[in-house]
Structure 1
Amino acid sequence: MSLLSLLARIMRYLLLRPETLLLLCVSLALWSFLFHTDEVKTIVQSSRDAVNMMKGKVAEMMQNERAALDEEFSKTWQYKSSTAAVYSIQGRREHMEDRFGILADTLNKSHPTIFGVFDGHGGEAAAEYAKSHLPIMLRQQLQRYEKQKENSALTHKSILKQQILNIDKEILEKLSASYDEAGTTCLVALLSEKDLTVANVGDSRAVLCDKDGNAIPLSHDHKPYQVKERKRIKKAGGFISFNGSWRVQGVLAMSRSLGDYPLKKLKVLIPDPDVLTFDLEKLQPQFMILASDGLWDAFSSEEAVHFIKERLDEPHFGAKSIALQSFYRGCPDNITVMVVKFRKKGSKAAG
Structure 2
Amino acid sequence: MGNLLGSPVTEKETHSGVTGDSLPFAVSSMQGWRVHMEDAHITEGNLYAAEGVQKEDGSVDYTKISLQGHSLFAVYDGHGGTFAAKYAGDNFCRVLSRTAKFIQYAKYRQITPEKEKTFADPSMRDEYLRNGRDLLHAALIDAFVETDKEIGLALRGQKVADADKPYSEENHQKHNSGQSPGSGDDQNQSMEVEGPSLEEEGDSGTTACVVVITPEYIVCANAGDSRAVLCRDNRHAVALSHDHKPDNPDEDRRIRLGGGFVAGGRVEGDLAVSRGLGDFRFKVMEVVMAAEKLPDGAFDYENGETTTVAGALRRPVTKPSHQKVSPVPELIFIDRSPDKDEFVLIACDGIWDVQSNEVAVQLVANLFAEGEADLGLICEEVCDCCLGIGSKDNMTTLVVKLESQKIGTGGGVQARRATRQTVSEKKMASMDST
Is the structural similarity TM-score above 0.5? Answer: yes
Larger Cα-atom Rg = 1
Q: CA RMSD in A?
A: 2.5
For residue 72 of structure 1, report the CA deviation from its aligned partner: 1.8
Q: Residue 367 of structure 2 aligns to a residue in which SS?
A: coil
Q: Deviations over 1:78-126 (max 9, x none)?
A: 1122511111100000000000111122895614101010000000000
Q: Deviations over 1:10-69 (max 9, x none)?
A: xxxxxxxxxxxxxxxxxxxxxxxxxxxxxxxxxxxxxxxxxxxxxxxxxxxxxxxxx954
User: Which structure is higher in strand share?
Assistant: 2
Which consecutive aligned stretches of 4+ in structure 1 deviate over 3 angstroms post-superposition?
106-109, 139-144, 148-154, 176-179
Q: What runs of 5+ residues in structure 2 fail to find an aligned partner?
A: 19-23, 49-65, 111-127, 158-198, 285-316, 318-322, 406-434
Are 1:319 and 2:379 matched, yes or no? yes
More moved, 181-190 vs 307-316: 307-316
Which of residues 180, 200, 205 is equivalent to 1:183?
Answer: 205
Could you tell me which residue of structure 2 aligns to residue 51 of structure 1? none
Q: TM-score, normalised by structure 2?
A: 0.59
Could you tell me which residue of structure 2 aligns to residue 72 of structure 1? 9
Tell me if the contact between 2:67 and 2:109 (Cα under 8 Å) persists in the aligned partners. Answer: no
Q: Residue 255 of structure 1 aligns to a residue in which SS?
A: coil
More moved, 131-140 vs 110-119: 131-140
In structure 2, C-alpha distance between the alignment counterparts of 1:78 and 1:257, rounded to whole Å: 25
Are 1:260 and 2:279 matched, yes or no? yes
Q: Residue 380 of structure 2 aligns to a residue in which SS?
A: helix
Q: Deviations over 1:289-309 (max 9, x none)?
A: 000010000100000011110
Q: Residue 283 of structure 2 aligns to a residue in which SS?
A: helix
Q: Deviations over 1:146-205 (max 9, x none)?
A: 224589875221111111111011112222555621000111111112211110000000
In structure 2, C-alpha distance between the alignment counterparts of 1:127 and 1:172, rounded to whole Å: 12
Q: 1:113 to 1:251 in 2, by over 3 A?
A: same
Q: TM-score, normalised by structure 1?
A: 0.72
- Counterpart AA for 2:10: F
- Counterpart AA for 1:137: V
Could you tell me which residue of structure 1 aligns to residue 39 of structure 2? 98
Tell me if the contact between 1:115 and 1:190 (Cα under 8 Å) persists in the aligned partners. Answer: yes
- Counterpart AA for 2:260: G
Tell me if the contact between 2:338 and 2:404 (Cα under 8 Å) persists in the aligned partners. Answer: no
For residue 77 of structure 1, report the CA deviation from its aligned partner: 1.6
For residue 330 of structure 1, report the CA deviation from its aligned partner: 1.3
Which of residues 391, 394, 397 is equivalent to 1:331?
Answer: 391
Q: Deviations over 1:238-294 (max 9, x none)?
A: 11122xxx2111111001110011111394211110011110128831001000010
Could you tell me which residue of structure 1 aligns to residue 86 of structure 2? 128
- Counterpart AA for 1:114: L
In structure 1, C-alpha distance between the alignment counterparts of 2:272 and 2:47, rounded to whole Å: 38
In structure 2, C-alpha distance between the alignment counterparts of 1:157 and 1:337, rounded to whole Å: 25
The size of the alignment, in residue pairs, is 274
- Counterpart AA for 1:261: F
Q: What runs of 5+ residues in structure 1 fail to find an aligned partner?
A: 1-66, 346-351
In structure 2, C-alpha distance between the alignment counterparts of 1:176 and 1:254, rounded to whole Å: 24
Could you tell me which residue of structure 2 aligns to residue 251 of structure 1? 270
Could you tell me which residue of structure 2 aligns to residue 147 of structure 1? 107
In structure 2, C-alpha distance between the alignment counterparts of 1:106 and 1:341, rounded to whole Å: 18
Q: Residue 100 of structure 1 aligns to a residue in which SS?
A: strand
Could you tell me which residue of structure 2 aligns to residue 163 of structure 1? 143
In structure 1, C-alpha distance between the alignment counterparts of 2:241 and 2:80, rounded to whole Å: 24
Q: Residue 75 of structure 2 aligns to a residue in which SS?
A: strand
For residue 317 of structure 1, report the CA deviation from its aligned partner: 5.8
